[in-house]
Amino acid sequence: MIKAITGTKDILPSDVSRWQYLEKLLRETFQLFNYKEIRTPIFEETGLFARSIGEETDIVSKEMYTFKDRSETSITLRPENTAGVVRSFIEQSLGAQQSLNKLYYIGSMFRQERPQAGRLRQFHQFGAEALGSTSPLLDAEMIQIAFHILKNLGLKNLVVKINSLGIPEVRENYKNVLRDFLMDKKDKLSEESRKRFETNILRIFDSKIEVDQTIMKDAPLLIDYLDTQSKSDFDVVENYLTRVSIPFEVDPTLVRGLDYYTKTTFEIVSGSVGSQSALCGGGRYDLLVEELGGKATPGVGFAAGMERILLACENEKSLNLPADLIDVYLIRVDSNSEEQLDVNLKLDLEVANLASMFRRENLICEYDYLNRSVKAQMREANKYNAKFVVFVGGDEFKNGELNVKNLANGDQQLIKIEDFEKLKSLLKN
Ligand code: AMP
């Protein structure tokens, strides 16, 4: 038996309506904020991710699906989509066509992490990128879009966390301050954090290990070292969020796992999904376009995990989707005994023809393909939540009539086959 790869998941028909509902909400929301969809390939040259996300990050150092293709090119399944969007922005000269590009995407991402609830190896993200402006209004707009979507899904247990990482010089300077602070405590840190001390010192703040947390409690904070521009931009973000009534907390330890961030970073966390609680994260990346070889262009964006969001919806029972239903189920009435084969074949064609007439009228319609008994067809009609059943066959049919039954209230009426208008308006009710 061949099984699905560890950390991947089938989204079955019984579950897909929640996905479609979310996707529809996403498209409507992005349209509302005037973002345009961009679809980039799901694999790219490995160097793109190494250069943008950062060699020392968890994603690049241990989570990417990287392989050589038949022409020995190193290829990676995208672990996130900012890099791909920025690559496309540069390659397709989108900045030359429009001074501000507001883009969104929805798609699969791949990371070889240890699977658990809310953490998969193939998962789905939606996200947005705005390229071409340094305005902190856009930073706040990103938070607003994400918040709007989560609120519209009925989620309640949300915390918006924001921080600023400042400009790179400030951050480099601060890293030295942090290094000085940790120098004589280094040996007490966990092994992972000792490693991070050398490679990615800011990420020690992410450690969940108690000894690390105790030490980091007294650490100097980057937010106290910000340059004036970063500080005033951060004020704008705070004022905007307050003005549009989005509750938030400033979390000076929010450093995020990717190297490309500058100034504003944020996360929205849910209290309803256990340890994998970050539903979405993002921030500003004013230097990334230039680092990837494009003309210097500021950018800001976010990405959100769709599995995790749907898990939060499930745990909060926040989505009450109407059951799928069909307008009409056609029931073939005559018996299915051998000698009736001819009659049945004729009736089958009548049923198929009526079905096609209904479908032309946009009525969702189904019938039996398995030569089942009337009783079994009726069971099917109920299983599909049919609003009406139409019986085709029997004496009524010989008299040129169809028996139409409203399954909600049990009402039945006979309608002449040739009076299709009447039939149609009854079924459309
Ligand atoms: P990141 O790109 O790491 O900032 O992640 C953004 C969002 O994607 C997170 O907040 C999660 O909701 C989601 N996410 C990241 N990694 C995974 C994963 N392995 N499985 C499911 N969702 C993920």
Residue 398 has pLDDT above 80, yes or no: yes
Choice among 83-87, 168-172, 294-298, 339-343 with the minimum mean pLDDT: 339-343
Domain 13-167+227-316: CATH superfamily is Bira Bifunctional Protein; Domain 2 (3.30.930.10)
Q: What's the 279 CA to ligand 1 centre distance in angstroms?
A: 7
Are the beta carbons of 101 and 128 closer than 8 angstroms?
no
Residue-wise pLDDT for 82-141, tens only, equals 999 999 999 999 999 999 999 999 999 999 999 999 999 999 999 999 999 999 999 999
Distance between CA atoms of residues 429 and 424, nearest Å? 9
DSSP letter assigned to residue 257: S
Q: What is the pLDDT of residues 38-68, one digit of tens each?
A: 999 999 999 999 999 888 888 999 999 999 9
pLDDT over 80 (residue 256)? no
With a cut of 90, say whether residue 334 has pLDDT above it.
Answer: no
CA distance 190 to 188: 7
Which H or E element spans position 301?
strand 299-305
| Ligand 1 pocket: which of 108, 116, 308 to mutate (most atoms within 8 A of CB) | 308
Q: Which atom of ligand 1 is nearest to the CA of 282?
A: 4
Task: Quote the pTM value.
Answer: 0.92
Phi then psi for 310, rounded to 5 degrees? -70, -30
What ligand 1 atom has the least distance to the C-alpha of 303? 6
**Which among 103-112, 196-205, 218-227, 336-345 has the top mean pLDDT?**
103-112
Number of Cβ within 10 Å of residue 298's Cβ equals 20
| CA 81 / ligand 1 centre spacing (Å) | 11
Helix (H, G, I), strand (E, B) or coil at 74: strand
Instruction: Give bridge partners of residue 414 from the DSSP assignment.
Output: 403
DSSP β-bridge partners for residue 304: 126, 280
Average pLDDT score over residue span 138-162: 97
Q: Stretch 330-338: mean pLDDT, rounded?
A: 75
CA–CA distances in Å: residue 393 to residues 207, 331, 346, 415: 71, 8, 10, 13
The pLDDT of residue 245 is above 60 = yes
* Contact between 234 and 252 (Cβ < 8 Å): no
pLDDT at 311 over 90: yes
Task: Give domain limits for the chain.
Answer: 13-167+227-316, 326-428
- 284: CB partners within 8 A, 6+ apart: 139, 261, 262, 263, 264, 265, 298, 299, 300
Average per-residue pLDDT for the chain: 94
- What is the rounded average pLDDT of the residues 234-257? 94
Mutate to test the pocket of ligand 1, among 60, 114, 119, 259 (most ligand atoms within 8 A of CB): 119
CA of 274 to the centre of ligand 1 (A): 14
Average pLDDT rounded to a whole number, residues 178-206 = 91
**Site residues for ligand 1, CB cut-off 6 Å:** 80, 111, 113, 118-120, 123, 125, 257, 278-281, 303-305, 307-308
Q: Using the predicted structure, report yes or no on whether residue 338 has a pLDDT greater than 60.
A: no
Q: Which CATH superfamily is domain 326-428 in?
A: Anticodon-binding domain (3.40.50.800)
